[in-house]
Chains A and B, each alone.
Chain A
Amino acid sequence: MSVTVRLPGALRDATGGETKLTASGGTLREVISEIDRRHPGFASRVLDEGGALRSYVNVYIGEDDARTRGGSGAVVPDGSEVMVIPAMAGGR
Chain B
Amino acid sequence: MSRLTAELVRERVRDTILERIGDTPLIPLHRVGAGLRGGLWAKIESANPGGSVKDRPALWMILDAEEEGRLRRRRIVLDATSGNTGVALAMVCAVRGYDLELCMPDKVSIERKRIARAFGAQLVLTDPLEGTDGAIREAQRRAAADPDRYVYVDQYSNLANPLSHELGTGAEIWKQTGGRVTHFVAGVGTSGTVVGVSRALRPKRVRIVAVQPDEALHGIEGWKHMPTALRPAIWDERVADVHRVMATDEAIAMTKRLAREEGIFTGPSGGAAVAAGIAVAREESGRIVVLIADGGERYLSTPLWE
Contacts and interface: CB of A to CB of B under 8 A. Distances in A.
A38 B9 CA distance: 57
Interface in B12-49: none
B220 interface: yes
A85 B222 contact: no
B219 A87 contact: yes
Contact of B189 (A9, A83, A91): A91
Interface in A29-55: 45, 53-55
A29 to B, nearest CB: 17
Contacts of B129: 6-9, 19, 83, 85-86
Interface in B196-211: none
Given A8-B131, A10-B228, A45-B217, A90 B107 contact: no
A8 B248 contact: no
B165 interface: no
B182 interface: no
Contacts of A67: 303
Nearest to A11: B217
Interface bin, chain B: 35 or more
Nearest to A52: B303
B131 A10 contact: yes
B169 interface: no
B83 interface: yes
B132 A88 contact: yes
A57 B81 contact: no
B214 interface: no
B99 interface: no
B194 to A, nearest CB: 12
Given A91-B82, A91-B85, A92-B84, A85 B268 contact: no
Contact of A92 (B107, B128, B222): B222
Nearest to B108: A88
A78 interface: no
A2 interface: no
B105 interface: yes
Given A45-B217, A56-B268, A91 B132 contact: yes
A10 B223 CA distance: 14
B221 A85 contact: no
Nearest to B213: A89
Contact of B218 (A56, A91, A92): A56
B120 interface: no
Nearest to A53: B303
Give the 10 A-B residue pairs with the shortest CB-CB distance, closest first.
Answer: A56-B219, A88-B82, A90-B224, A10-B216, A92-B84, A92-B222, A10-B217, A91-B190, A86-B131, A55-B303
27 contacts: A7-B129, A8-B131, A8-B217, A10-B131, A10-B216, A11-B216, A11-B217, A45-B217, A55-B304, A56-B219, A60-B107, A85-B129, A86-B128, A86-B129, A87-B220, A88-B83, A89-B213, A89-B218, A89-B221, A90-B82, A90-B224, A91-B81, A91-B190, A91-B232, A92-B52, A92-B189, A92-B221
Interface of B: 52, 54, 80-86, 105, 107-108, 128-133, 155-156, 189-190, 213, 215-225, 228-230, 232, 248, 252, 268, 293-294, 302-304
